[in-house]
A and B are shown apart, each in its own frame.
Chain A
Amino acid sequence: MISADWSAANKKRAESLLAAYPERRSAVMPLLYVAALEHGYVSEQAQRDVAAITGLTAAQVQAVASFYTMYKREEVGEYLISVCTSISCYLLGADDVLMAISQETSTPDGEMSSDGMFSIEHVECIGACGGAPALQVNYELVEGVGPDKGRELCRWLRDARPGVVLGDEMQQLFGGRRSFDWGPAEDIGATAPVPALDAFGNAVRGHAK
């Protein structure tokens, strides 16, 4: 039924996603995430796959994939570091955090490092204003990260090379003020620069080092 050349597990996920909506086309957005996990990023082939599954043209899928910032249509590094630079984080020095991280990883804003380890980007408000300045690694949040802690975080990612990126772990090590009490630390995180959700199969239990 799923006419894309995907792993059996991802095909199964695709079927569940299609069944969750009254109309097939609605599944385009979650399918693009699964396609990103299947191909490493939202490549042309990933978009063709989603078109075949949903019965849309590839142009229609491209129209959606290119509208949203979280569908990465070029190769993305192992660790995607998204630094918020909207108003609240800006007031609390986000531009310095972005510069520090960019320098530490030798990666210009908006690009991937030459060794494929990091992609750096500035983003708009990620809803962590009470813990400004804030950033995400593979969409797992770290709040209250100044320039120095930001550099340390990069060095740690390179050295420890965590297979699962855990928000609580990073917050413990490098974070500062939080928007609110996070409650107990969680050991579920992301394995790729795609938001980690059970439905996508990429919300994985990890162990803090």
Chain B
Amino acid sequence: MAETGSDRITITMDGTEVEVPRGQLLIAAAEEAGTYIPRFCWHPRMKPVGMCRMCLVEIETPRGRLLTTSCTTPVSDGLVVDTASDVAVKAQEGVLEFLLINHPLDCPVCDKGGECPLQDQTLAYGPGESRFVEPKRHFEKPIKISELILLDRERCILCARCTRFSSEVSGDPLLEFAERGTVTQVLTFPDEPFASYFSGNTVEICPVGALTAKPYRFRARPWDLEAVESVSLVDAVGSKVSVQSSQNEVVRINGVDNGPTNQGWLSDKDRFSFEYINSSQRLTVPLVRHNGEFEESSWTEALDLVAGKLGSMAGSAIAGLGGARSTNEEAFAFGKFLRTVVVTPHIDAQLADGLDPQFLATATPRAAIDDLDKARTILVWSADLKEELPVLYLRVRGAATTHGARIIVVHPRRTGLDDVATHKITYRPGRGPEVLRKLIAGDGTYAEARAALDDGPVVAIVGRPGLSEGPRLAEAVAAFARDLPAGKIMPVTRRGNVYGALDMGLAPTLLPGRVAASSEQGRSRLEDVWGPVPETAGKSAKGILEGLEEGTITGLVLLGSDPVRDFPDPGLAARALAGAEFVVSLDIFLSDSSHQADVVLPVESFAEVEGTVTNLEGRVQKVNRLVPGPGQSRPAWAVLDDLSRRMGGDLGAHSAEGISKEIATVAPAYRGFGWDMVDWGEGREGVILPLDEGEQPLQYVPVDPGLRSRSSAGLSLHLARVLYDDGVQTRMSPSLASLMPAAAVYLHPRDARALGVAEGDRVEASTDLGDAELVVAYDDSIARRTAYVPANLPETAMLGAAPGLTIERLEEVVG
């Protein structure tokens, strides 16, 4: 009965006193104290509903013993509970018997067999026999409810985990109960499939085989699987995953509950894009161009060729792009190779499509994802998080719905967060600086939003809403936000390990470990270990491609980078690569850029490499190897080490872990870090760097760059990414490739009318940088005089991210 501190209390469970956190749900408290109470509908990351009735226990009350669901009972001082009394046990057996009377005998053909909570709990808590001799209810089974998910209503035990996840967590209530009583079922609406970016989570949390995923269906039995924990590299959230293989082929990716990052959830892209790993189009042998065509080569021949070619060029005439999709160790090796073996300062992990590297990597004060839960107000001025960083979108959504945070969204059109936003500011791309000034001043309609921003703690998620808006606006917003009450900033951009790459110095203005390239002390300390590194200022991606076009740069090394496809001025990228004297690409597929290379070297990919990655919080986690790379592919760091030696240098890289040790020596922010810190136990959550032994020499303080609004006649272009685009991870994963949306140019209906076009018309859309032939679609959420075009779809890839867009209706050709 004694209170042992303000947040822990004592209860009596099964005759023994235990100390538990005050207010915790009894079912969770019991589990932590070592007593597992069976359950189906309860999920630790969702509100309890007490529907399945499996977790019934008896508690003492003034009116005698009460049978109640432990998932809806918070512990209280002096609670006395019996989790396995005769009454509770009989009730639990009874519930299982009830669940099984209509459950089909599908185990032999059901994916869930072997990892099925219904099987497991029936064995442990259920009756030995069934007494049901009546006819079971039947449904047509299975039915396809989306391109990815199948539903078997006979197996369903109506725990509502899937429907609750969809409405409560992901905000896509496309799956709901229908009918009533014994024919209650989970259902979508006809012609409105369960097309949620998060649908795969419901398959994972379904306690039976009612929801199954097409990419995994019938592929393996859980007891056949091998698994490692790793981190999804689809985006920079750092979602923890379990990668699973059967006979050395990755067959499934599940979410792992990492409290600080994804809390167990994944986007469907995180979950199903593993298919690209197994693609038959993976590069397996080095390719060397002879007489304009690629020919298969040997490693020796290819590397000798590259070493000879690069060695014959001046260091400063060579540049390196990439590393944002590699591990930290690979990125570090790349940076060391370029700076000490090639001897060039021209390095960029981004492709002019993100933010300033010093801002991204070292902005202060930096928010952790958990800070969203503590925030009273969250400002989101970035790309649509639901498209670019879906799991981060879930965390912001959770902050609003569970913790009551106010959300202020600033964006040119609708976003996934609009329905939980307290304030939505829609603006025309180019007018951002003016909007920011009005928000800061709290003018007119901005007054309420401004007042909310004075109610801290405040977290500002800042980024580029679209590719045709520049990167400096995010810094201006950050400059404002960091001065708000307990204000913290979270600069966001997309690629899987861009933060790790920047931490490894893959930017012209950064050295490894969050050190400014301009820092004398930083450079001197680095040279103590590496020897001389170039002093001249390096070019960024744009400068590099311009250099290639004009001939001041003649050599290019690509590490998992595709500028022809991803650079916002596709014409420049194409000309740059065409004009280059020598291009070598380390890649996993023959991307559009690799197609133009002189030598292509096959490297290992996700699930094939061991290393660390760093997410948008600066949190480092471990990526683990599960399967061998295909054919003759090698880890990128080994390729660079081999190449270095053939060029007379020495990266000193003998293993990925060895590289990691050198990183800890050379990169101040990574000092004291070792793999064992994040390999097991609580360390699996990852560690935010720097540790106490480390330091962050560069602490970028964003200032308002004094931007002016740009206003153009005609349409402003909002070129923004969608989750399923024509990028390699989607295109090479058949289950996801079919989900790419149709390309269109979206206009406000009034603007369309004014321009003389209607929904469905074909138009030629043009920017200063390129063209695209598109269909017109209406968007009543978009700012006026603005056109939204989804970026990086096959039809839109050549459009180019320029501020203005013109459209011209194409006449029908009758013939």
Q: Return A43 CB to nearest CB of chain B, in Å.
A: 11
Closest residue of chain B to A56, judged by CB?
B173
The answer to whether A66 touches B178 (Cβ under 8 A) is yes
The answer to whether B180 touches A57 (Cβ under 8 A) is no
Q: Return A54 CB to nearest CB of chain B, in Å.
A: 12
The answer to whether A47 touches B189 (Cβ under 8 A) is yes
Residues of A within 8 A of B188 (CB): 59
The answer to whether B179 touches A59 (Cβ under 8 A) is no
Closest residue of chain A to B194, judged by CB?
A59
Scan residues 158-204 of chain B and give those whose CB is less than 8 A from a CB of chain A: 173-180, 187-190, 192
The answer to whether B173 touches A62 (Cβ under 8 A) is no
Contact with B along A34-64 (1 / 0, CB 8 A): 0000000000100110000000111111110
A48 vs B188: C-alpha distance when bound (angstroms): 13
The answer to whether B180 touches A58 (Cβ under 8 A) is no
Residues of B within 8 A of A44 (CB): 189-190
The answer to whether B173 touches A59 (Cβ under 8 A) is yes
The answer to whether B180 touches A59 (Cβ under 8 A) is no
The answer to whether A62 touches B187 (Cβ under 8 A) is yes
Asked if A182 CB lies within 8 Å of chain B CBs, one says no
Residues of B within 8 A of A48 (CB): 189
**When A57-B173, A57-B174, A59-B173 are in contact, do A66 and B192 touch as well, CB less than 8 Å?**
no
Closest residue of chain A to B191, judged by CB?
A44
Closest residue of chain B to A61, judged by CB?
B189
Asked if A67 CB lies within 8 Å of chain B CBs, one says yes
Q: Return A63 CB to nearest CB of chain B, in Å.
A: 4
Contact with B along A164-180 (1 / 0, CB 8 A): 00000000000000000
Q: Return B199 CB to nearest CB of chain A, in Å.
A: 13
The answer to whether A67 touches B189 (Cβ under 8 A) is no
How many of A's residues come within 8 Å of B, CB to CB? 13
The answer to whether B192 touches A57 (Cβ under 8 A) is yes
Q: Return A71 CB to nearest CB of chain B, in Å.
A: 11
**When A44-B190, A47-B189, A57-B192 are in contact, do A62 and B178 touch as well, CB less than 8 Å?**
yes
Closest residue of chain A to B192, judged by CB?
A58
Scan residues 322-362 of chain B and give those whose CB is less than 8 A from a CB of chain A: none
A61 vs B180: C-alpha distance when bound (angstroms): 14
Residue in A47, A56, A57, A63 whose beta carbon sits within 8 Å of that of B177 in the complex: A63
Residues of B within 8 A of A58 (CB): 189, 192
A66 vs B176: C-alpha distance when bound (angstroms): 11
Closest residue of chain B to A51, judged by CB?
B189
Closest residue of chain A to B190, judged by CB?
A44
The answer to whether A62 touches B189 (Cβ under 8 A) is yes
A1 vs B337: C-alpha distance when bound (angstroms): 63
Residues of A within 8 A of B178 (CB): 62-63, 66-67
Interface size class of B (residues with CB under 8 A): 10 to 19
The answer to whether A57 touches B189 (Cβ under 8 A) is yes
A58 vs B178: C-alpha distance when bound (angstroms): 12
A130 vs B174: C-alpha distance when bound (angstroms): 45
A66 vs B178: C-alpha distance when bound (angstroms): 6
Scan residues 108-153 of chain A and give those whose CB is less than 8 A from a CB of chain B: none
Residues of B within 8 A of A59 (CB): 173-176, 187-189, 192
The answer to whether A67 touches B179 (Cβ under 8 A) is yes
Q: Return B365 CB to nearest CB of chain A, in Å.
A: 38
Residues of A within 8 A of B187 (CB): 59, 62
Q: Return B418 CB to nearest CB of chain A, in Å.
A: 11
A47 vs B178: C-alpha distance when bound (angstroms): 13
Residues of A within 8 A of B176 (CB): 57, 59-60, 62-63
The answer to whether B180 touches A67 (Cβ under 8 A) is yes
A191 vs B222: C-alpha distance when bound (angstroms): 60
A48 vs B189: C-alpha distance when bound (angstroms): 9
Contact with A along B298-315 (1 / 0, CB 8 A): 000000000000000000
The answer to whether A66 touches B174 (Cβ under 8 A) is no
Residues of B within 8 A of A63 (CB): 176-178
Q: Return B424 CB to nearest CB of chain A, in Å.
A: 15
Q: Return B572 CB to nearest CB of chain A, in Å.
A: 43
A57 vs B176: C-alpha distance when bound (angstroms): 10
The answer to whether B180 touches A66 (Cβ under 8 A) is yes
A65 vs B72: C-alpha distance when bound (angstroms): 29
Q: Return B262 CB to nearest CB of chain A, in Å.
A: 25
A59 vs B186: C-alpha distance when bound (angstroms): 10
Residues of B within 8 A of A67 (CB): 177-180
Q: Return B229 CB to nearest CB of chain A, in Å.
A: 35
Residues of B within 8 A of A61 (CB): 189
A190 vs B650: C-alpha distance when bound (angstroms): 91
Scan residues 97-126 of chain B and give those whose CB is less than 8 A from a CB of chain A: none
Closest residue of chain B to A57, judged by CB?
B173
Q: Return B779 CB to nearest CB of chain A, in Å.
A: 15
Contact with B along A68-109 (1 / 0, CB 8 A): 000000000000000000000000000000000000000000
Residues of B within 8 A of A62 (CB): 176, 178, 187, 189
Closest residue of chain B to A65, judged by CB?
B178
Closest residue of chain A to B172, judged by CB?
A57
A56 vs B178: C-alpha distance when bound (angstroms): 15
Residues of A within 8 A of B180 (CB): 66-67
Residues of B within 8 A of A57 (CB): 173-174, 176, 189, 192
The answer to whether A66 touches B179 (Cβ under 8 A) is yes
Residues of A within 8 A of B173 (CB): 56-57, 59-60
A48 vs B192: C-alpha distance when bound (angstroms): 10
A47 vs B180: C-alpha distance when bound (angstroms): 18
Q: Return A80 CB to nearest CB of chain B, in Å.
A: 19
Contact with B along A17-48 (1 / 0, CB 8 A): 00000000000000000000000000010011
Interface centre among A44, A48, A63 (most CB of B within 10 A): A63
Interface centre among B178, B180, B189, B192 (most CB of A within 10 A): B189
A44 vs B173: C-alpha distance when bound (angstroms): 17
A61 vs B662: C-alpha distance when bound (angstroms): 59
Closest residue of chain A to B188, judged by CB?
A59
Q: Return B421 CB to nearest CB of chain A, in Å.
A: 14
A56 vs B419: C-alpha distance when bound (angstroms): 11
A44 vs B188: C-alpha distance when bound (angstroms): 12
Q: Return A40 CB to nearest CB of chain B, in Å.
A: 18
Q: Return B419 CB to nearest CB of chain A, in Å.
A: 9
What are 10 A-B contacts with C-beta separation under 8 Å? A44-B190, A56-B173, A57-B192, A59-B187, A60-B176, A62-B176, A63-B177, A67-B177, A67-B178, A67-B180
Q: Contacts A57-B174, A59-B192, A67-B179 given; 11 further ones with Cβ under 8 A?
A: A58-B192, A59-B173, A59-B175, A59-B176, A59-B187, A62-B176, A62-B178, A63-B178, A66-B180, A67-B177, A67-B178
Interface set of B (CB-CB < 8 Å, partner A): 173-180, 187-190, 192
Q: Which 4 pairs between the two chains have the least Cβ-Cβ distance?
A: A58-B189, A63-B176, A66-B178, A59-B176
